[in-house]
């Protein structure tokens, strides 16, 4: 007979509920009935040690936590800036928020203990500030010129320059292959901190909306407003249903990515063709929809022209998606396997965070098990991970 795990029933139930899993879903992960799991949560019976270990893995909690006498203090819930009708956060969203909070907490404590200098731009402004001024300060601080990117991938340049200033940026679209993030739930979030601000971006979408999300979350850091975001790209409809902070951060992002002086210098003939708009938008790293919204907000085009061009942009975008799907299918036929494991891992952990953890590990400041937990990979992968970091 297998050894029983005499777990604390209310903690077992808390761990499941905090992972946003139903009894049925959790029970299926260890091949027991939902009634059996409910009995464990009520203290009527007990799981085996192996079953309890499997539940700890499914809930992404340390196994030892099940044996505490009381429910432990968890990470503080991030403020939800999404509209009231937003889709409820599911298991994947909860897990990525918890994971980033763990990383951010560790790095902030490390920097604080080492008496690192606080970052002057965190909380430099407030929601009462001018969105244009905040945008200009973000561009100046990160040393970015939206009209002259050094690469054909603007989001990569923004991430590199933001991390060079001490802002950690995580980007992924999944927890693991069977648990993917939903952009309808979560596009991004920011944790504002004087020592270690952390930004997460859901990479399920295309690069253009991801870049807007990134700059939107940077605005959250500049006004010290930690929280979860969605419905990020600016849109004329439903503006009244968005949180004031979301509206402000959208305006900051629009001003940073498409400054007034850039928009007003375009030849007005540009606004006669959706194809020209698509071409310019791609160069600037934004979507056609963002470009059109910005043009309308600056009175460069009328409402009628905005609606007409947006309709055409919608059609062009759908055609673009079909072309990209065909291209992706052809690429899959030629290539075997998916994206590079270490690239995905570094993107998810944050390039900067990975370097800091590896340096701490190599310097003997943290144990292998802690480094492995922080980086979500086995210690025997560290050499290859480092080789990817510095190639």
Closest CA to 98 of 79, 80, 75: 75
Phi-psi region of 60 (alpha: psi -120 to 50; beta: other; left: phi over 0): left
Indicate the SS3 state at residue 312. Answer: helix
Half-sphere exposure of 57 (CA within 13 A, CB side): 10
Q: What is the mean pLDDT of each run of 10 residues along the chain (391 residues)?
A: 87 96 95 96 96 95 94 88 90 96 96 95 98 98 93 93 98 91 94 98 91 97 96 67 91 95 89 87 90 92 91 84 74 61 95 96 94 95 91 76
Chain center to CA of 337: 25
Given the structure tokens 């919204």, which residue do they identify? 293
Indicate the SS3 state at residue 308. Answer: helix
DSSP 315-381: HHHHHHHHHHHHHHHHHHHHS-S-S-HHHHHHHHH-HHHHHHHHHHHHTTSS-HHHHHHHHTS-GGG
Sorted by where each begins, the domain ranges of the chain are: 9-67, 91-334, 341-389
CATH fold group of domain 9-67: 434 Repressor (Amino-terminal Domain) (1.10.260)
The distance between the two most distant Cα atoms of the chain, rounded to a whole number of Å, is 80
Q: What integer pLDDT is reported at residue 315 of this predicted model? A: 87
Q: For residue 333, give every residue at least 6 positions away whose Cβ sits within 8 Å of its Cβ, in sequence order, or none.
A: none
DSSP strand pairing (168-172 vs 179-180): unpaired
CA 220 – CA 237 distance, rounded (Å): 22
Q: What integer pLDDT is reported at residue 241 of this predicted model? A: 77
Q: What integer pLDDT is reported at residue 39 of this predicted model? A: 97
Q: What integer pLDDT is reported at residue 93 of this predicted model? A: 96
């Amino acid at each position: 007979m297998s050894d029983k795990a005499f777990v604390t029933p209310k903690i077992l139930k808390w761990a499941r509920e905090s992972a946003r899993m139903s009894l049925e879903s959790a029970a299926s992960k260890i091949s027991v009935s939902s009634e059996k799991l409910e009995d464990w949560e009520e203290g009527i019976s007990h799981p085996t040690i192996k079953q309890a270990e499997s539940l700890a893995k499914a809930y992404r909690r340390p196994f030892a936590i099940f044996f505490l006498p009381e429910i432990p203090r968890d990470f503080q819930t991030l403020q939800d800036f999404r509209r009231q009708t937003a889709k409820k956060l599911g298991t994947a969203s909860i897990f990525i928020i918890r994971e980033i909070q763990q990383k951010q907490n560790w790095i902030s404590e490390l920097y604080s203990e080492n008496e690192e200098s606080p970052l002057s731009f965190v909380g430099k402004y407030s929601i009462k500030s001018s969105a244009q001024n905040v945008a200009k300060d973000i561009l100046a601080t990160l040393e970015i010129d939206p009209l002259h990117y050094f690469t054909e991938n603007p989001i990569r340049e923004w991430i590199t320059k933001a991390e060079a200033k001490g802002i950690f940026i995580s980007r992924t679209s999944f927890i693991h292959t069977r648990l993917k993030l939903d952009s309808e739930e979560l596009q991004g979030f920011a944790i504002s901190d004087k020592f270690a601000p952390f930004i997460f971006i859901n990479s399920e979408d295309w690069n253009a909306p991801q870049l807007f999300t990134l700059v939107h979350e940077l605005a959250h850091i500049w006004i010290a407003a930690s929280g979860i975001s969605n419905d990020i790209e600016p849109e004329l409809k439903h503006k009244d249903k968005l949180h004031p902070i979301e509206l402000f951060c959208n305006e900051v992002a629009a001003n940073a990515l498409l400054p007034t002086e850039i928009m007003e210098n375009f030849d007005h003939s540009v606004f006669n063709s959706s194809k020209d708009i698509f071409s310019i938008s791609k160069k600037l790293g934004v979507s056609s929809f963002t470009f059109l919204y910005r043009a309308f907000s600056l009175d460069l085009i009328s409402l009628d022209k905005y609606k007409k061009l947006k309709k055409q942009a919608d059609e062009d975008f759908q055609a673009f998606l079909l072309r990209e799907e065909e291209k992706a299918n052809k690429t899959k036929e030629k290539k075997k396997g998916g994206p590079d494991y270490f690239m995905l891992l570094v993107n998810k952990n944050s390039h900067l965070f990975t370097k800091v953890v590896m340096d701490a590990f190599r310097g003997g400041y943290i144990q292998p098990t802690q480094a492995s937990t922080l980086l979500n990979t086995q210690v025997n992968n560290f050499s290859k991970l480092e080789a990817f970091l510095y190639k």
